Amino acid sequence: MAIKRFTRQRRAVLEVLRSTRRHPDAAWIYHEVKKRVPSISLGTVYRTLDALVREGMVIALHTGGPTRYDAFTEPHPHLVCRRCGAVLDLDLEVGGLVEAARSAHPELVVERAWLAFEGLCPDCARSLES
Amino acid sequence: MAIKRFTRQRRAVLEVLRSTRRHPDAAWIYHEVKKRVPSISLGTVYRTLDALVREGMVIALHTGGPTRYDAFTEPHPHLVCRRCGAVLDLDLEVGGLVEAARSAHPELVVERAWLAFEGLCPDCARSLES
DNA sequence: GTGAATGCAAAAGCTTTGCACTCGA
DNA sequence: TCGAGTGCAAAGCTTTTGCATTCAC
């Protein structure tokens, strides 16, 4: 269903998500939102995230562990650290991917591209260097 | 740990995975492998897939649902159908992504690129066309 | 023979869901 | 008012794990 009411809970989830660039999962969001709306339940956090994703106000990232959420919806690549699991935004222009896929595969409907890199974040790169 | 013994179970998992291009999940692989090795358990399938991924003989795809596996390990883009969940290989050359990410972010260790598209597979595109 | 790998089953996440209650429009 | 949204708790699903047993080397 589409969002009909902007409740305290939903506003708080969206604000928490917009206030961070760490691509948190539902548990972290729950923990943060509870500071502002102590009565909120984890189920509501999940239902809210679901609704926000369906509305296109938030994107969901599937990296292997729990689903992570991002209120920054412009397509942009990520780096997933294979050591600590951190997700970082990359400053990298990669246009034309959807168009390229469309012309290579006219039989498909291509709507969106997801580009992620696997590697090490600066902290883990530092602590692993020999 | 590295793989030390190539048991019937592991051989069967690898062969099943190499025989299909459907990017199956652990449950499907279990079901197929059980036809050849009826005693196999789901836990062994998971442990085997884990080991094969660590060995680099198989890749794991995180698409939102259960993890899917692919014995075709050359980097190649996928299309994930948002309607039926199918995962298709795309015939699309996308080189230089890792290099581009490295030069944009020298502070990171970039090891691998994952490119996926979201959209509709041919069947779903057909059945949804107006 | 020996310990890596297995089978079984229990447990551990993460996420969804049913239901009665609440409250925003 | 009144039904969309919530809180709670139970359930669902995928995946992991402990332990005794088996079997590949």
- pLDDT one-digit tens code per residue, B63-84: 999 999 999 999 999 999 999 9
- Find chain A residues with C-beta within 8 A of B98's C-beta: 117
Segment holding A6, helix H or strand E = none
Residues A58 and A121 in one domain: no
Q: pLDDT value at position A1?
A: 55
Are A38 and A63 part of one and the same domain? Answer: yes
**A82 falls in which pLDDT band (50, 70, 90)?**
very high
Domain CATH for B16: 1.10.10.10
- Are residues A6 and A63 part of one domain? yes
Residues sharing a CB contact under 8 Å with residue A123, sequence separation 6 or more, in sequence order: A84, A86
Question: DSSP letter string over A78-115?
Answer: EEEETTT--EEE------SHHHHHHHH-TTSEEEEEEE
For A6-25, what is the mean pLDDT?
Answer: 97
Q: B116 lies in which domain range?
A: 74-130
CB contact, 8 Å: A97 with chain B?
yes
Distance CA A63, CA A82 (A): 10
The tens digit of pLDDT for each residue in A34-59 reads: 999 999 999 999 999 999 999 999 99
CB-strand contact B5/D, under 7 Å: yes
* Phi, then psi, of B112 in degrees rounded to 5: -155, 150
Whether residues B58 and B79 share a domain: the answer is no
* CA gap A17, A47 in Å, rounded: 15
**Same domain for B88 and B64:** no
Distance from CA of A33 to the nearest CA of B (A): 24
Summarised one tens digit per residue, pLDDT across range B42-52 is 999 999 999 99
Do B81 and B58 share a domain, yes or no? no
End-to-end CA distance of chain B: 53
Domain with B106 in it: what CATH number? 3.30.1490.190
Query: Which residues in 45-84 of chain A line strand D, with CB less than 7 A from it?
Result: 47-48, 51
| Cβ atoms of residues B30 and B65 within 8 Å | no
Put the strands of the sheet holding A109-120 in their side by side order: A87-89, A78-81, A109-120, B109-120, B78-81, B87-89
Domain end, chosen from B22, B49, B70, is at: B70
Q: How far apart are the first and last CA of chain A?
A: 53
Q: What's the structural domain count of chain A?
A: 2
Whether residues B34 and B79 fall in one domain = no
Looking at the fold, whether A65 and A9 belong to one and the same domain comes out as yes
Residue A95 has pLDDT above 90, yes or no: no
pLDDT of residue A130: 59
Same domain, A63 and A112: no
| Same domain for B87 and B61 | no
Return the bridge partners of A70, or none: A59
- Asked if residue B127 and residue B111 are part of one domain, the reply reads yes
Q: Are residues A124 and A101 in the same domain?
A: yes
Contacts with A82 from chain B: Cβ below 8 Å: 111
Mean pLDDT of A104-126: 97
Nearest CA-CA distance, residue A126 and chain B, Å: 9
